[in-house]
Structure formats: C-alpha cells, structure tokens
Structure 1
Amino acid sequence: MILKSKLNATALAATRRFYSASSIPPAQPFRTHTAEGAPTTQTFYDKDTATWTYLLHCPKTQHAAIIDPVLNYDSSSGRITTSSADGLLSFIESSKLSVQHILETHAHADHLTSAKYLSRQLNAPVSIGKRIEEVQRTFAARYNLSLSSLEDSFDTLLDDDAAIRLGEHVGSVMHLPGHTPDHIGYVFGKHVFTGDSIFLDPVYTARADFPGGVAASLQSSIHKLMSLPPDYKLFVGHDYPGANREESCWTTVGDQLALNDHLKRDDFAAFRQNKDKTLSTPKLLHPAIQFNIRGGRLPPPDDDGLSRFRIPITSTVDVL
C-alpha cells in the first residue's frame, strides 16, 4: 500500500524563476580554508539538516565547484523553498566566481539537494558517482517509479579516480562505499571531502543500514581514508555537535586515528550493524531519496498537476 504525500506545486514556483542576486543577501561562510595545492574552500552550514555545503574556487581563475548543496523543505506542509541556495548564489555572484561543477557525494537520505536548481541558475553540470544507477534501480522498485523517469537525472556519472579540473587545480574522485554503494569523496590537494563516511565525535562513522549499505565496505572505505598522510584535512558531510561544542566541518587523518573510538574496534562491522539497529529513520528519508535520485527534480506530476512523494507503509495490523 502506498500513501502519497502531497506537495504543493505552486510552492515550487520560486525554483523556476530566474534568480536575481540583487535582492538576496549573500550567505556568509562559516569558515574559509586555504592550503598550498588546494582550492580555497568556504563552508556553509544548514542547521535544519546539520549539513555542510562546500564552495571551492581557484583564486587565480575564479573557477568554482559546489559540493552537496541543500534545498529547504518543510515536511509538514510539503513546501520547498530556495533560501539557502539563493544565499549561496548571491555569495557566488558577489565574489565573482564562475561555477564549473556541482558535485554530489551520494544520493542523500537526510536532505533535499539544490543541485538541479543551482544548475539551472549557473549553467553548470551536476555530477555524481557512476553507481548512482544501482541506487536508482533499488529505489525505483521501492517507490514504484519507472526507470525511464530517472534517465538523464545527472549530467555526468563519474568514474573512480576521475580527474576534476578546477582552474589551476585538479582533483580526483575517491570511491567510498559502505554508507551507500554510490558514495564517493573528492580529493583536492590535502583536502578530502568525505561526504557521509566519517564524522566528528560523538557520531564518528556513518550508518550502513540503508538499502545497498554494507558495514564491511564502510570499514574498507574508512581504512582508505586513514591510509592518507596524517595532515590531510577531512571535510565531513554533517556535524551533530550537541551542546558540548560548536559545529565544525573538518578533522584530520591524524586526529581521527587518535580520537575516533570506532576505528579502534577489531569488530567494527558487527559493531556498526548493531549500532544501526538502534537508530531511527531520518525524518526526510522518503522525500529526500525520491528527489535526490532524480538529481534534484520532483517526481512527475499526477493528473491534477501536483507532484507527490510516496511513503511505503509497513504494518502488522490488518487495516486494508
């Protein structure tokens, strides 16, 4: 049985207008990070979903890339807005940057991506790891979506170790499966954008219980990250600091080896599987997956012109 969650199509009108930065204050970066051999990295935090978005640019050419951008979604009303994305666009315009790439680390399950909206405003391609097709097949069956409706959702499907040019800098794709099979990171110099692979305390490592997630694969991916030199900076996809500290977007390989308790466990895969059984489902899981496997597009509208997200129902009670 499928329960449809109605999304007001008129609420999406803002995402179809031509963006004008003149009336939108620029978003202010949380931090700016520089390192020899790496693009300048500016970080933006979405508190509603605890998500980090990264804006990288080459100081000499002003060529830029965006990693894991966020779209604002109110699950109680089904309303989508673009305030976070518009603030980022305004910052890009005021900084006179030219965006060459919009990069996703994976099909997120905890927030909606603004990749497609940004792509339309910036005329920049949206890229993701090539195994997104496996994820699309898995969730097309779960949500009763046609595979044809998912075709051409992304402009580029990235191979493992693919090169990504950003002005005078060249980055590479690092396959980091475990959290999801399509999960990748991006390496630019000594900066590594790890997506949802590794975290700061108290979370430490990603869950691996979503369809296609494998705890043993996550362990191998983390070992790959920990094999990098200790001074490499790891920029995480989320941070959940609680009341003990300010949010932060980065750690180092050396700090993780010293401080991450999960990495010290000989039984990591079993530990991760048992821990995942205690976690609740992300509240935006169903809309996020249906939206994000389409690269940031709504499902096709029904006959009344409204797009709807579907919620699979599981029940031991006979209520049919």
Structure 2
Amino acid sequence: MTADLTVRIGRFSRRWSARALLTGTALAAVVLACAAASLMLGSRELSLAEVLAAFAPDAHGPNRLVVVEWRAPRALAAAVFGACLGVSGAISQSLTRNPLGSPDVIGLNTGAYTGVVCAITLGGTGYLAYAAGAVAGGIGAAALVYLLAFRGGVRGFRLIIVGIAVSAMLSSVNTWFTVKADLDEALRAAVWGAGSLNAVEWPPVAVATGAAALLALALPTAGRRMRQLELGDETAAAHGVPVERTKFLLVVLCVGFTAAVTAATGPIAFVALAAPQIARRLTGRPGSAGLAGPALAGAALLGGADLVAQHALPDTPLPVGAVTVLVGGAYLVWLLLREQRRS
C-alpha cells in the first residue's frame, strides 16, 4: 500500500502519494541538472562556480555575457516550454481519453504553423507577429476540429480522427506555401518550422513565460474538472460539471500553451505526446491525477533533447525538433506495439 502525505493549511487540504512526490523530486532534479549542463557546456566551458558567479549583481565580463545573455534564455526556454508542452499533452489526452490525442496529432501544432506561415506571407517579422499568427492558427484549427467533431457532444476518438484529417489538410497548405512563396519567405518559414532553440533570446522567452503563467492560473480548476470528465460525461454532469463548457476551456488552454511555445521556437513535436505517458508510468497515477508530473516530465524531456541537439555533433547545433522527432518516433512505435499486444 502506497504511503500518502497530507498537508493542511487552514481549510486547504491536499494529499500526495509518496511515489508521486519522489518522482516529482527526481524529475525536478533532472530539469535542474539539464539547465546547469546547458549553462556550463559549450565552446567556452565553465565550472558551476563560474556559472553562479556570472549571475551576481556586480558580475561583468565575458562569463556574464555567455551565461546570462546567451545560454540562460535557452536553458529557461527548454524548461518552461517543455512544461507547457507536457501540460498541453496531458489536457488533450484527457480530453480525447486516448494516449495518441496530443496537439501534434489533432492538428494544433500544424494550425499554429499555418498561422505563422500566413504572418510571414503578410510581411510579419519578429516574435509578436509570429505569436499572433500562431495563436490565430491554433485557435482556428482547434475551432475547425471541434466543430467538425461535434455531434451532440465531442467524443475523443472522433476528435482524433477529425484532427488527423485537418492536420493533413493544413500540412498541404504549408507545403504549397513552401513551393510557391518567395525564396526568402520560404526559407524563413522552413527555418522556423524546424523547431529550434538555437536563436532564442530573452524577449520571446519572457513573453512566452508570462503567457504560460497566466494560463497556469486556470489549471487548478481545469484539473478538477478533468478528473470529473474522465469518469464519463454523464457522471460529470451529474456532479454539476458544465461538460461542453469545460471541454471548450480545456481546448483553449491546450491551444494557449501550444501557441506560446510554437510562436517562440516553431513546432516541437512529440514532447506533448510522450511527457504525460512517461509521468503516468513513473508516478503510477492513472488519468489526469495531476498536471505537475506531465509538466516536469516535459521539462526534463525537452531539456535533455536540447542538450543532445547542442552537443551531439561538434560545431553543428541541431534543431531540437529533430531530436524530439527521433525520440518521439521510437516512443510512438513502442506505444503502438504495446497497444497491439494488449488488444
């Protein structure tokens, strides 16, 4: 029997299982280790003491420039963006009640990509233009999928099938743009579409982190309602949960977290797919028993993938999206084989 820890502060009471706490602590340690390695490693290798000294208020010189201005935005982006993708994946998988129901599969990433392509076509440059395009494209794709899948309610399997179809159509639009657009515009879209942390800077990281923090304010309410929905729509409605409004809220949150990342880095595939499943297997907690686990798993996964992207090939940094595709593809094959054996 798993031991539990209960914390009470006034009328607030929360219970955590010991396994979930240990797993969360271990994942947090991995995230911190990845961030520290990202700050220390590179063409100018630094010790941990030198990295910490670079953050001192009176620090100056090349170490501060390298650590604070160049490496710190990337390390923070890997942690925050990985957490955003982990949460968006947990929400979408809970909504569809399917381990394949991630933003990558149901078209939200592709929709955000299409939105940025449209922004580039209209002459937009910079993070704000890309952010506006990603949010508009993600919301448009989500609305289209939601409306096409709605038949007196939204069922998870139908949402996945419709999402795959919409994603395929939007991918063809993106391909058409790459072929027909001006060479400079097509190159900008292709570089952005690779999903990379190589050129990330403080302004987009700060804006995306602020947006994610605002969205996170709705997560406690969303988490409680997700647990009710996983009991079934009828049971949730009997407990007073507004089912369709809650599903719409979850879609908005999923789009928001996905768009915040996509606008800054481009589409990073498979983190949202794998992180929730990794967290559930490590914690032993089925369903959406918590969103902290998927967030930490996503941060650890993206942080580790970015380290590989930076240092796997000497003097040739890779887009982190290329690494996550390799890892996620292997995970997807394993998941499909596992589901086949179970059926």
Report TM bin, short chain.
Answer: under 0.3
TM-score, length-scaled by structure 2: 0.25
Larger C-alpha radius of gyration, 1 or 2?
Answer: 2
Q: Larger relative contact order (C-alpha < 8 A, sep ≥ 6)?
A: 2
Task: State TM-score, norm by structure 1.
Answer: 0.26
Q: Which has the higher helix share?
A: 2
- Greater percentage in strand: 1
